[in-house]
Amino acid sequence: MSEVIEKPKMGTYKRHLLICVGPRCSKEGASQRLFETLGEKFKAAGIDKGALRVKRTRSHCFATCKGGPVLCIQPDGIWYYNVTEDNLDRIIEQHLVNGKPVESLIYHRGP
């Protein structure tokens, strides 16, 4: 007998924020602490549900281990570095809510 695998379900979202929480990316767990604040920050910004919903995921290595914490916004292909708490607030307000990337924090643009 073969096992029946249930197809996963996922809610709709506009963007996907991936943050590297690997040990070489940021010092003393700074990236993990930022990740832990995202739920409250997304709710306060109104991007935790509805048309602007942002999905969030931890990653353990982007292989770009300098200038962290680093994060990526998909499908926009925008990669940010030096994501301090203040810079994260700017990214949420300017990019995720208003659709305008924070140019001074971008280190790479994907396809």
Is the predicted pLDDT of residue 45 greater than 80, yes or no? Answer: yes
pTM confidence score: 0.91
Residue 99 DSSP symbol: S
Q: In whole angstroms, how far apart are CA 8 and each of 34, 51, 67? A: 27, 21, 35
| 3 domain residue, yes or no | no
User: Under DSSP, is residue 19 helix (H, G, I), strand (E, B) or coil?
Assistant: strand
Where helices occur in 10-51 by DSSP H, the ranges are: 30-45
| 9 domain residue, yes or no | no
Measured in degrees and rounded to the nearest 5, phi and psi for residue 20 equal: -80, 125
pLDDT in tens, 48-105: 999 999 999 999 988 888 888 999 999 999 999 999 999 999 999 999 999 999 999 9
Q: ∠ CA(13), CA(16), CA(22), 5° rounding?
A: 150
| 5 domain residue, yes or no | no
Is the predicted pLDDT of residue 28 greater than 90, yes or no? Answer: no
pLDDT at 21: 93
| 57 domain residue, yes or no | yes
Is the predicted pLDDT of residue 1 greater than 80, yes or no? Answer: no
Domain hosting 22: range is: 15-109
